[in-house]
Amino acid sequence: MPPRGARRSPALASSSRAGIWRGVTTFDEFELRANDVGAARAFYTRLLGAEPTVTALPARARERGAPPHWLGSLRVPRLDAAVAQVIARGGATLGPVSRARAVCRDPGGAVFGLSEEPTSRAPGPFVWHELHTDDAGRAFAFYEGLARWRPGAAFEGPVTARLLDGADGAILETLGRVPGIHPHWLFYGPVEDLARAVAFVREAGGRVGHGPVETPGGRTIAVCEDPEGAAFGLQRAC
């Protein structure tokens, strides 16, 4: 169930609350880091029908040139052991590691979080996650130990995609094949009416970079940016 005070938008958001709120993805915590917290919260509440966790983009990240972005965190049984594994496998931590949370960068450059203790924050409204990278094999080897993922079906086309068996996600080898793509995790929220949701993104000052289009796996998706440039995906609810 959504947290107290969350509002739903029947026009755009999926009616499947279980798909949004019961953590069907491997990532169980999502945080949008934005410049204008209030405006960003209003945009996603209208679009996805639930109020997300939004925080101010850290000054240190802004100084390094980081744009507004979504940060997804993986739940791990022991944070210290997971951080040690990140470093041993060629990744790095970004900033100080707290008792319960760390922000990390994988060997390809994509940023993600690690969380040990149950969070008091509501899980974000996402049902699918994709890693865009330049080396899918290296990325899978890195994350396999952290998240216990297993390889699923593979698809070849303009990009190489490897599904994550049972994890509601995929690793895509897009860098070098699609211009302007940097290593990143992309999270998809479900909507009942994808065409209407895409129109809302544009009307609100965002951008639709790809789609709507049907994927080889049968999902109909669109890849977007919010008005501040944070990337996210939309997926037609089943």
pLDDT digits (tens, 9 = 90+) for 66-122: 899 999 999 888 899 999 999 999 999 998 888 788 999 999 999 999 988 665 555
Confidence tier at 163 by pLDDT (50, 70, 90): confident
47: tokens are 């679009």
Q: Which of 12-16, 112-116, 177-181 has the lowest mean pLDDT?
A: 12-16
pLDDT of residue 38: 97
Confidence tier at 123 by pLDDT (50, 70, 90): low
Domain contains 203 = yes
Domain contains 4 = no
Task: Determine the structural domain holding residue 37 and report its residue range.
Answer: 17-236
Which CATH number characterizes residue 154's domain? 3.10.180.10
pLDDT of residue 99: 78
Domain contains 95 = yes
pLDDT of residue 121: 58
What is the DSSP track for the chain? -PPTT----TTTB-S-HHHHHS--SSEEEEEEEESSHHHHHHHHHHHHSSPPPEEEPPHHHHHTTPPSEEEEEEE-S-HHHHHHHHHHTT-EE-S---SSEEEEE-TTS-EEEEE-SPPSSPPPS--EEEEEES-HHHHHHHHHHHH---EEEEE-SSSEEEEETTTTEEEEE-TTTSTT--SEEEEEEEES-HHHHHHHHHHTT-EEEEEEEE-TTS-EEEEEE-TT--EEEEEE--
pLDDT of residue 161: 76
Q: Which residue has the higher pLDDT, 32 or 2?
A: 32
Domain contains 191 = yes
Domain contains 3 = no
Domain contains 1 = no
pTM of this prediction? 0.83
Number of compact structural domains in the chain = 1
